[in-house]
Amino acid sequence: MIRLALRMLLGDTAKFFGILMGVTLASLVITQQGSIFVGIMSRTFAVISDMGAPDIWVMDPKVQYIDDVKPLQDTELFRVRGVEGVAWAAPLYKGLTRARLGDGTFQNCVILGLEDSTLTGGPPRMLEGSVADLRRADAVIVDRIGATTRFARRGPDGGVVPLKVGDEMELNDRRAVVVGISENTRSFQSQPLIYTTYSRATAFVPKERKLLSFVLVTAGEGVDPAALCRRISKETGLAAYTREEFKGKTVRYFLENTGIPINFGIAVGLGFFVGTAITGFMFFNFTIDNLRYFGTLKAMGAEDGRLLTMVVVQAVWVALVGYGLGVGLAAMMGHLAEGSPLAFRMPWQLLVVSGLATLIISLMAAVVSMHKVLSLEPAVVFKG
């Protein structure tokens, strides 16, 4: 019966491709828009992802997300270091500043100040130079995207000349020399990223009473990071989160305070609705055209359960093929957009959600057709 159901489905080529088009379209829109949404959300915590070393981030209790910096006094660093279970703790400065380039133009950028001795939290990958070069006088490291876009200048021939190692700029009227180019994850705000030492970063920005943005902590051997977070919060009064907790806190802020989820939710919902409408309409027409075959089977003694199984098999088959085509097209679009400003990330959880949505669409289309099959009289085969 399963083989017969598939032969019926594939026998009507026009309607089969119509049904398949609806399922593929739904799978494509849900997967592609979902991947872009996940990609955008992952960019909100790009700085956290690129600093893979620390287990724990310590900050002011009022901080809501990674860019919501509320400075601490430098003495808080020593308090955190005194908590039992802390292997080491390093200061991190994170802030916005304005760079004056060699051609006189200005560009806002993010500056990260790393601990002078260990340079903890440095770039994830260096394309030119090394992190140790930050110990040189007036040294800074610039991310590749910023160097080739916002920090680039126009050459004599009108072409774009990227910022390169050895170039100079001014940060708060102080000289800064580029000693390296790093490869970083694109951030949500897409501003150029500059690395330097903590002491130099505090000199590059306007003077304030508090300049310590975060304390990066690594737990001692055998110490549970989550338990250490609670201990740090209890003894210092500061907020302490594991790396994954801080990522989640940042994502929740953007989900709750921006229109991004609504915008993408509408796009995904529209894809689901359109896919259901097209698939349901085509599947219903397909069933109507094949009622004579279902009637023949019923006249030969086939039970309703067996006929419904055939309809479900047809729906599941279309769902599998359409899901594969939709995901494949979405993945191809993501591959073509690699290296572009488009945010695209396709985790396995999204594939599961997309697969379930595609299956639901196909089964809903099958349900519309089941009524006709169940109410079918075998005598209809012998009429006309």
Q: Are residues 104 and 210 in the same domain?
A: yes
- Give residue 16's pLDDT: 80
SS3 82: coil
Residues spanned by the domain of 299: 2-43+259-382
- For residue 215, what are the β-bridge partners? 58, 91
Domain boundary among 202, 237, 272: 237
Cα 215 to Cα 27, 146, 273: the distances in Å are: 44, 26, 48
> Is 325 found in the same domain as 272?
yes
Q: Is residue 249 part of a domain?
A: no
Low-confidence spans in the chain with pLDDT less than 70: 1-2, 5-6, 291-292, 294-295, 297, 299, 302, 304, 371-384
Separation of alpha carbons 379 and 383, rounded Å? 7
138 and 189 housed in the same domain:
yes
CA torsion sign, 167 to 191 to 194 to 109?
positive
Q: Has residue 372 been placed in a domain?
A: yes
Q: Are residues 153 and 263 in the same domain?
A: no
What is the amino acid identity at position 291? Answer: L
* CA-CA-CA-CA torsion sign (312, 318, 321, 327): negative
Are 164 and 306 contained in the same domain? no
* Residue 89 shares a structural domain with residue 212: yes
Indicate whether 29 belongs to any domain. yes
What DSSP state is assigned to residue 83? S
CA distance 318 to 17: 9
pLDDT for position 380: 58
Dihedral of alpha carbons 17, 20, 26, 32, sign: negative
Spatial distance between the Cα atoms of 110 and 67, rounded to a whole number of angstroms: 10
Any domain includes 149: yes
- Please state the φ and ψ torsions of residue 140, each to the nearest 5 degrees: -140, 155
Q: What is the pLDDT of residue 379?
A: 60
- Helix (DSSP H) and strand (DSSP E) numbers for the chain: 12, 12
Is 243 a member of any domain?
no
Domain annotation covers residue 13 = yes
Tokens (6 digits) for 77: 């660093």
pLDDT of 184: 92
What is residue 279's predicted lDDT score, i.e. its pLDDT? 77
Asked whether residue 209 falls in the same domain as residue 274, the answer is no
Last residue of a domain, one of 182, 203, 237: 237
> Do 231 and 116 fall within a single domain?
yes
CB atoms within 10 A of CB 339: 8
Q: Is residue 49 included in any domain, yes or no?
A: no
Total count of domains within the chain: 2
